[in-house]
Amino acid sequence: MQEDFHYYAAYCAAYLAGFDHEESLRIGYADQFCDCCTETYLGKVKGPRAAATTQSQPELASAPGDLLSIQNMTRIWASFHFLPYDLNATLPGHHSKKYMQKYRLICKPNSDQVEETVRIAKGRSLEHFGISMHVLSDTWAHTYFAGTPSLVINNATGFYDLNTDKPLVFSHNPTIPEDPEKGNYVNSPNLMDEVSIMVLGHGRAGHLPDYSFFRYKYMPAWGNYEEIVKDNPADYYLAFRQMVTALKYFHGDIDEFVRGVYDEVSVEPHRERIMAILEKRQVNACADWKAFGEELSGQTIPDFDIFAFEKEYLDAARKEDTFLGRFCAGAIAQKSMITNRIYLSGSNLAGVSVDAEGRRFQRNSN
């Protein structure tokens, strides 16, 4: 997902869930900021580097590819962008421990992890709500990919556009702008290396998972030659409804957040409008989501500005009372929770972690 969904659609979801304009803006901002908060940025503002929620391309390119850098990548990408679905998954037949550790990081919606992500944000800051919305919505967009570099999991072939009924051909040149009308799409090359950053997340599928209009099928490396059909508009709509449910839980309108429950009351009246935005064949839907949000609240939604809260943080005596301070606290809690869960499942792919909540430290012997 991109700024259109993470910022503007998150604003709309928050407003529909009962938050006011200013609160919705903060939630949307924090949601989108998860795609901006790199170690480089945190170094610049002297923030805690452990709170990084993403990595820039130069950061990834300069990562040495050793165990520590792979663990750092996994902590960041699995915690915020590719939430693991089943950390105890099994497969028929014999598979090596190393393979299973990677297989178990495959992202899907409605997991234990997403419930816990929402639960730990409850009662915390608006910024933490925004982080959890980023994580939740990405489980729908990034389904079937893992937040760790892995050729055997994240490689993919045979992409076919179900909208145009044509095979999809990718180039590896990021300077060529993506254009659905011309069929220009970019993906990362296959360097035939198990831990290359080219096979981190959905790089081999290019930006297809990030476009709400796309319907396509492909063959994932892990899928035993079975094709997967992805219906992004339907998935994005469910993501939006689930976000409203979670945000109503934060707002105190429902008592419990349960996976598989999608809001109908607040979203259904806007179904046609939302689906029209989701199905419009465009690589950036910011304008449409912004117009929808402004219609809902009657307020102007400012453009996303990555530096909007930087000065507040730099000037503050108590950093924890600022947007960035609260964002970092939420990010560290989320990263700690997921890293700890991966570690407790018997995997060292994300390194070791203490639970930020209870400071527990225990490893399952299985």
Partner 1 sequence: MSLVKKILTLITSLLMVIVAVGLVIEPEIGYYIMIFILIGVLLVKSIQSVWYYFSMARHMVGGLFYFYQAVLFVDLTLASPMLLIAPRWIVALYLNGLIAFSGVLDILRATDQKKMQWPQWKLRMVLGLSKVLFAIVAMVAMRSPEMLTRIYSFVLVYTAIMRVMSALRSENVVYYTQ
| Smallest distance, partner 1 to C-beta of residue 351, A | 14
How many Å apart are CA 232 and CA 20, to the nearest integer? 29
Binding site for partner 1 (CB under 8 A): 2, 35-36, 38, 40-41, 44, 54, 56-59, 61-62, 64, 66, 68, 95-96, 98-99, 151-153, 155, 157, 172-175, 188-189, 191-192, 194, 219-225, 306
| Smallest distance, partner 1 to C-beta of residue 88, A | 18
Report the residue number, 38 or 336, with the smaller CB distance to partner 1: 38
| Smallest distance, partner 1 to C-beta of residue 171, A | 8
| Smallest distance, partner 1 to C-beta of residue 248, A | 29
Residues 6+ positions from 62 with CB-CB distance below 8 Å: none
Report the residue number, 98 or 166, with the smaller CB distance to partner 1: 98
Of 163, 102, 157, 108, the residue nearest 136 (C-alpha):
108
Sheet of 156-161, strands arranged across: 166-167, 156-161, 215-220, 228-231
| Smallest distance, partner 1 to C-beta of residue 64, A | 5
Report the residue number, 174 or 260, with the smaller CB distance to partner 1: 174
Cα–chain center distance at 162: 24
Report the residue number, 54 or 340, with the smaller CB distance to partner 1: 54
Per-position b or e across 138-166, b if 16+ CB within 10 A of its CB: bbbbbbbbbbbbbbebbbbeebbbeeeee
Listed in sequence order, the DSSP H helices in 3-124 are 3, 10-16, 21-33, 39-44, 57-61, 67-80, 97-103, 112-121
Report the residue number, 56 or 299, with the smaller CB distance to partner 1: 56
Kindly state the tokens that stand for 82: 């590719």
| Smallest distance, partner 1 to C-beta of residue 98, A | 6
Of 103, 109, 209, the residue nearest 153 (C-alpha):
103
